[in-house]
Structure 1
Amino acid sequence: MGQVPEFARSPEAFEAFYRQHVGDVQRFIARRVDDPYTAADLTADVFVAVIDSAHTYRPARGSLLGWVYGVAHNVVATERRRRRRETTIERRVAGRRLLEPADIARIEERIDAESAARKVYRALDGVPEATRRLIELVAVDGLSTAEAAAALGVSPIAARVRLHRARRQLRIDFGGSAHVHA
């Protein structure tokens, strides 16, 4: 690494550097940004970034102003990426209405009412996928074992065997209280 430029070592030198280049940086930003507040913020950000990265400036690679424009380009690019992310988030949220207290209360009631079902779903996490789908069709969706077997493309006998094994395991997991009606 080379020597740190004088403007990064002395407040007086930085002030002179700033006064010499602020107009160039403002014009650079103004060509890319149309909001005056954003332009002012980005101009300040450029000079902060210049100080932070002063140790990377190499006179042999080009002029100081060219290097400052490179820093400014990076600052503007970072701002554009931030704005794109912000716009994406705003679009996702824009289609959703804010919840009223009554809506939140209803959702909390539903969550409380479904606590037993969540326990069952957690217990089913350890059950093989094909058996879990069978249990859901029978116990949650109300299909008969034969209907669930047909929906899954297995024989009714295979479905009954899977349900029997799953019931036995669930009874163990829930201490004898699991009921999956076929």
Structure 2
Amino acid sequence: MAGDLRPTMRDPVAFEGFYRRHVEQVSRFVARRVPVPHLVDDLTTEVFMAAIDAAGTYRADRGSEVAWLYGIARNVVASEHRRAARELDKSEREAGRRHLDADDIARLEVRIDAERAAGAMLSAIAGLPKALRAVAELVDIDGLPVADAAAALRIRVGTARVRLHRAHRLLRTGPSEELAMEGTS
């Protein structure tokens, strides 16, 4: 079947190629949402581990491999945020983390600093309703085409376009004007 990633995920050489093609994009996606270098590294690894398990769910006709990986990454990051909210004790959060050497930390800090520019936009987008925020993050922050963002969110392309338009209008006009405009339409 075209677009079936299961053979790629079972073949170590093919998987290495898949990983190398996408690891930077996935790591940047995670770094924009998680400011802790150890966590960026761990969650990026979790995304690829989850991709191995979910390889049978990839459908090329629904979007690119990157869009599919971003969908997985959104779930992994959301799961981590929920876990962190439940677990307040820092020593428990650090337990089981792989120790990074100074070069790993420096590399991840550089990546986090490079992604800091997206922070202002993420702050503005954070105030949007959840459905609008998800599309705006994938398109405006992560640079996905609308069709790929729709695939990552498992919604229709038309729905993604409408949500993106509404998100942009809200970001320009503010929530009170948007609500007033929707009340008249």
**TM-score, normalised with respect to structure 1:** 0.46
Larger Rg: 1
